[in-house]
Each structure stands twice: as C-alpha cells, then as structure tokens.
Structure 1
Amino acid sequence: MRLALLTDLHANREAVEACLAHAEGQRVDQYAFTGDFVGYGADPAWVVRTVMDHVARGAVAVQGNHDYAVTRPGSREPGRPRMHAEAREVIEWTRSQLDQEQMAFLADLPLTQKHGNAFFVHASAHDPIRWEYVTGIGEAERSLKASRSRIVFSGHVHAPALYRRTIEGRMGLHVPEAGQRIPLQPQHQYLVLPGSTGQPRDQNNAASYAVFDDEARDITYFRVPYDHGAAARKVIAAGLPIVFAMRLIEGL
C-alpha cells in the first residue's frame, strides 16, 4: 500500500489541494493526516470537511494541538496547548467558522492511532498530550521508545526530517531531499516528520508531504509549489494577523 502523509494543514486550502492532487499522481492508495487541520489559515471549514471526507473513506486522522484548542474554549485541562496571542486570536476566529459537525469531528479525534507496525501521532508518542516538539535526537528517541512501533508518523514540527533508531539503539537523523526515495531497513525503527503541508517553516514556501510504500519499504518526501500568494491574501482579508500571511510567503 502507498500511503500519503499530510500534517499541519493549518486551514490552507490552496496547499492542501495542491498536495492532494500531487498525491493522486503518485498512485497512493490511502491517506493519513497527523493533526492541526485548523489554525493560522483562512479556510478551516474547507480543510476540516476535506479531512472528514477522507476519513469516511478509510483515512487515518489524529488530533493536533490546534484542533484540541479550538474544541475546548476556556479549558483548564492539563493538555491545554500553550499558544502566543496571535495564534489564540485565530483559534477564537476559527470557532466561528466551523459548524457543529466539524467541531464534533475535531473533538472526537484520537491523540494516537496504531495500525500494524505503524503509529500515528501529532507530536511525540511519549505523552502525546504534552505536545512536545521533536527537534532533535533526544526527543526522537523518546518518541520511538514510547511507541514500540517500527515506524512512527507525526507532525507538529513544520520541517521535514527522518530519524532512525538501529537495533543496537543508535540514533541518526536524515534531512531528506525532495523526490528522493529513501529505503527503510526492516530491523530499524523510524520516525517520519513529513513537514508541514499548510505552513512550512524551513525557508521553503512549497507545501510538504510524504509517501510511504509499505511493500517497497521506502519513503519519499515531496515539495509542492502552490499559490501561496492567494492563501496569504485570504488570511489578510479575513482580518487574521498578518504574520501568518507573511509566513506563507517566506516559508518561515
């Protein structure tokens, strides 16, 4: 099976449409969405509905910190994500854009899913509700050890990366090149960060996603150009903080 992996869609219709169209050209069989369908962008209702439609056809989806925040106004729960003022402003606005069915869908999403040897989580498999950023070897090792799965697919970090843990416990990091097919060894553990579809932050404004082939046992990361100018203009037109429009343009 060829599985398309999209994460951190962040209400960016133009980027999501571009990646889904590109994935069709890669002959994917199924999709997995590892959280943060809302926040930052101007099209939360369209993005959530699109993910809902894919889930109805068998896709995997887990909850991200922005999805968690938007469905729990005023919550004092331990898992309430920390967000700066501009991000909280978009969360408040997003609640007015979603209908009851969409809000219920986000609220009911699981924090994790496990299918065979694959584990899906938005942040770290080590205490997912803490929303830990996996930005180095130490965090990656914690996530892999906690999952006990051969391969972990996650998001939260808006840049593509691939971590490996060998059978002897040695850790390594690979920064993938777009379009490069990367063979995965069955005896190792891997943590796959596809990069952000809706708000890349690695100085490249092209949308990011990956395709995992479980039969060929390889993964390929892709960068997909899209009309980021149109997405940015929508953010401004909606009255959302201009910083989120600039991020789309600059890839930061």
Structure 2
Amino acid sequence: MKLAVITDLHANREAVEAVLNHAHAQGAERFAFLGDYVGYGADPGWVVDTVRRYIADGAIAVGGNHDAGVAEAPSPNMRPEARVVLEWTRAQLDADQLAWLQGLPLSKTDGDMLFVHANAFAPAEWEYIQGRIEAVRSLHATTCHYTFCGHMHEPKLFHLSGTGKAGDFVPTPGIEIPIPSLRQWLIVPGSAGQPRDGNPAACYALFDTDEQTLTFQRVPYDFELAGAKIREAGLPVRLAERLAHGQ
C-alpha cells in the first residue's frame, strides 16, 4: 500500500490541492494528515473540509498546535503574528468545523505506524524534533518502527538501530529510500502549506508499506496566488512573502 503523509497544511489551498493531485498521480492509496490544517493561510475552511472528506474515505488525521489554538486557545509560546491569524481563522470557521478541530486526537497508531504532530514523548506540549536527541527520545517513547511527525517545516529522516545507534539525514526529493523495519524510523515530511527550507515547493512523503520504502516529494504550486489571498484577507504581509522564498 502506498501511503501519502501530509502535514502542516496551514490553510494553503493552492499547495494542498497540488500535493493531493500529485499523490494521487503517484498511486497513493491512503492518506495520513499530521495536523496544523489552519493558521498562516487564507483558506482554512476549504482545507478543513477537504481533510474531513478524506477521513470519510479512510484517511488518518491528528491535530496540531495551530488547530488547538483556533479551537481552544493559542499556546503562550506562539508568535504574535500567528496569534493574529488564529483570531482571524476562528471567525472564518463555523461551529461544526471548530468542533472537528477540537476533537482531533493528538496521536494515532495504525499497525506498526505512529502518527503525531509534534513528537511521541509529549504530544500535548508541542516540543520540536530539533535533532537526534529529540528524535531518539521520541523513538524511545513508542514501540512502533515507523513514527511520522510534523511541526518541523523542513524534511528530515532519523533512524535508530537495535543497538541504540542513531543517525539522520536530509533527504533528496524523489529518491526512494529503503526503511526496513529492522530499525526504528522517524519521518518528518516537511510542510505542505509553508515550507521553511529555502525551497517554496510543497512537501509530503510517500511510504510504500509493502516494499518498506519512503520517498520525500516536492511539488511546485501557485504560491503567488496563495500569497495574494493572504494580502487580500488583511493578514500579515510577511506570511505571503515567505511563501515565495520557502521561509
């Protein structure tokens, strides 16, 4: 089975549409969404409703910190511009959409796979996987061999051997990577809606569960239109500008 893993969609309709179309063209049979459906972008309602339709068809979904911030209250560590967007976003969504965001689980297990937005060791505290130390801590918190998490907007792959030896690397898009279950793996697909590694193309990952291979994908999209919508909505201009630079 080919599983498309998509995270940090951030209300970016143009990016999400491009990623979904690309994933279907690559033969994706199932989808997993790792949270932050809202925040930063100008199309929160469309993204929420789209993910809900995929869930009705069997997709997996967990919640992120921006989703919790809109449905409940923003984290005290959240930046001022993010808070502004969350207040705006809350006004764009109806009661049913807000209730859906509030009801999202923090993590979900499916067979030998764990799906979570931030990390496996303390999902509700939204700590980032900054490097090997946090990655190993996260892998030690689960018996699953495959952990998929978002929150970090840059693609990264970590692994841990049975003897405790850890490693990590930045993947090359489009290159199939063997990830056998002899090791534990932590996969950070990168952000679909707001990449931050200097490349504006949207990110996602495709996991072939039968072959145990992983491919990180980059998908060009109309970031100029997405940015124009942000400006038209009266949201912080910097949020539109960063889309063009992948920052």
User: With structure 1 as the length reference, what TM-score do the two structures score?
Assistant: 0.97
Aligned-partner residue type, residue 219 of structure 1: L
The residue aligned with 2:22 is: 22
For 1:199 and 1:152, locate their aligned partners in 2 and report how far apart those are by CA, in whole Å: 21
For 2:192 and 2:107, locate their aligned partners in 1 and report how far apart those are by CA, in whole Å: 20
Mapped pair 1:125 → 2:125: no
The verdict on how the C-alpha distance between 1:81 and 1:33 changes in structure 2, with shifts beyond 3 A counting, is: farther
Q: Deviations over 1:144-165 (max 9, x none)?
A: 1112210000000000000000
Compute the displacement of 1:176 (Å). Answer: 0.5
- Which runs of 5 or more structure 2 residues have no equivalent in the other structure? none
SS of the equivalent of 1:96 reads helix
Root-mean-square deviation (Å): 0.9
Match of 1:168 among 163, 169, 174: 163
Compute the displacement of 1:246 (Å). Answer: 1.0
For 1:7 and 1:221, locate their aligned partners in 2 and report how far apart those are by CA, in whole Å: 12
Aligned-partner residue type, residue 20 of structure 1: L
Aligned-partner residue type, residue 239 of structure 2: F
User: With structure 2 as the length reference, what TM-score do the two structures score?
Assistant: 0.98
Compute the displacement of 1:100 (Å). Answer: 1.2
Compute the displacement of 1:81 (Å). Answer: 5.4
Aligned-partner residue type, residue 124 of structure 1: N
The residue aligned with 1:110 is: 105
Compute the displacement of 1:220 (Å). Answer: 0.3
Mapped pair 1:193 → 2:188: yes
Q: Deviations over 1:194-225 (max 9, x none)?
A: 00000000000000001000001000001000
SS of the equivalent of 1:222 reads strand
Which aligned segments of 4 or more residues in structure 1 are displaced greater than 4 angstroms? none
Aligned-partner residue type, residue 107 of structure 1: Q
Compute the displacement of 1:82 (Å). Answer: 1.9
For 2:77 and 2:120, locate their aligned partners in 1 and report how far apart those are by CA, in whole Å: 18
Q: Deviations over 1:42-71 (max 9, x none)?
A: 000000000000011110000000001101
The residue aligned with 1:63 is: 63
Match of 2:172 among 177, 201, 214: 177
Aligned-partner residue type, residue 149 of structure 1: C
Aligned-partner residue type, residue 19 of structure 2: C
For 1:81 and 1:249, locate their aligned partners in 2 and report how far apart those are by CA, in whole Å: 28
